[in-house]
């Protein structure tokens, strides 16, 4: 979820102002993500085991990074870079991971280094979307799409990190039009995302690794890196190939 933008992964250190702006943007975008208490190399390896299509870069020189270099392979104890250079996982101090189109998944750097131009961050933009749901609103969708939660492969012991799987249990093709996470207030759930808006169909395809526009009957897709404080509701506004629209979702207490 092919990569866009520049193909040269070595990015020179930009001005101090750019560094400060970058730090603010990254904090906003990842404000709901709790930083795992593991080494940078261990976290990079966990990402590589989650998905084979992530795009990854590490900071070099490892002891005091000033620029990024792209990783082409992550092995149990080393990473191999596009220059054929290998770096031990234990020596890595800075890295970032993106989906194939460049949306940031995780950024870690003791002293922030500006990101390449092809990387973009989910952040608030435009007028916030307003939406609220109650559990009953999900009933119609249960007969068409099953939403299940499981352990996060990257953070299996965390209550706030989990995998989310959507399975098409109908006899029609289905596509997700928009989706989002909701927080609970009283007996209702209110839309609450890092952008203050619904996530798009394109974002769904990227996060869940869906290759085509439609989810075929019997097909399922998974986001292994979902996160958010419980109780949380994840809702997916969907459409069947025949034009029927409905909302499917699941609640994680």
pLDDT at 153: 76
Query: DSSP secondary-structure letter at 201?
Result: H
Name the phi and psi angles at 209, rounded to 5.
65, 25
pLDDT at 158: 87
State in Å, rounded, how far the first CA of the chain is from the last one.
28
- Calculate Rg over the CA atoms of the chain: 19
pLDDT at 246: 98
Structural domains in the chain, sorted by start: 16-108 (no CATH), 132-252 (2.60.40)
The pTM (predicted TM-score) of the whole model is 0.78
Low-confidence stretches of the chain (pLDDT < 50) are: 1-21, 23-25, 27-36
DSSP 157-192: T-SSEEEEEEEE-SSS-EEEEEEEEEEEETTEEEE-
Whole-angstrom distance, CA of residue 122 vs CA of residue 104: 8
**Which tokens go with 118?**
């092809």
pLDDT at 37: 65
Cβ contacts of 127 within 8 Å, gap of 6 or more = none
pLDDT at 225: 85
User: pLDDT tens digit string along 99-153?
Assistant: 999 999 999 999 889 999 999 988 887 889 999 999 999 999 999 999 999 998 7
């Amino acid at each position: 979820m092919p990569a866009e933008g520049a193909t040269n992964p070595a990015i020179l250190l930009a001005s101090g102002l750019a560094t400060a702006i970058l730090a603010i943007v990254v904090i906003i975008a990842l404000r709901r993500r709790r930083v795992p208490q593991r080494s940078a190399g261990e976290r990079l390896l966990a990402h590589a085991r989650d998905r084979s299509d992530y795009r990854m870069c590490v900071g070099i020189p490892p002891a005091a990074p000033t620029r990024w270099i792209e990783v082409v392979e992550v092995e149990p104890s080393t990473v191999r870079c596009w220059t054929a250079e290998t770096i031990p996982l234990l020596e890595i101090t800075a890295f970032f991971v993106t989906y194939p189109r460049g949306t940031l998944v995780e950024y870690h750097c003791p002293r922030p280094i500006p990101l390449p131009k092809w990387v973009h961050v989910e952040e608030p933009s435009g007028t916030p979307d307003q939406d609220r749901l109650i559990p009953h609103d999900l009933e119609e969708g249960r007969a068409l799409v099953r939403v299940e939660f499981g352990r996060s492969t990257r953070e299996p012991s965390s209550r706030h990190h989990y995998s989310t799987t959507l399975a098409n249990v109908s006899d029609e093709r289905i596509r997700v039009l928009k989706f989002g996470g909701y927080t609970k207030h009283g007996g209702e759930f209110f839309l609450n995302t890092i952008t203050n808006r619904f996530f798009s169909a394109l974002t769904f395809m990227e996060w869940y690794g869906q290759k085509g526009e439609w989810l075929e009957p019997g097909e399922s897709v998974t986001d292994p890196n979902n996160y958010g404080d419980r109780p949380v509701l994840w809702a997916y506004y969907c459409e069947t190939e025949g034009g029927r629209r409905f909302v499917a979702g699941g609640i994680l207490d």
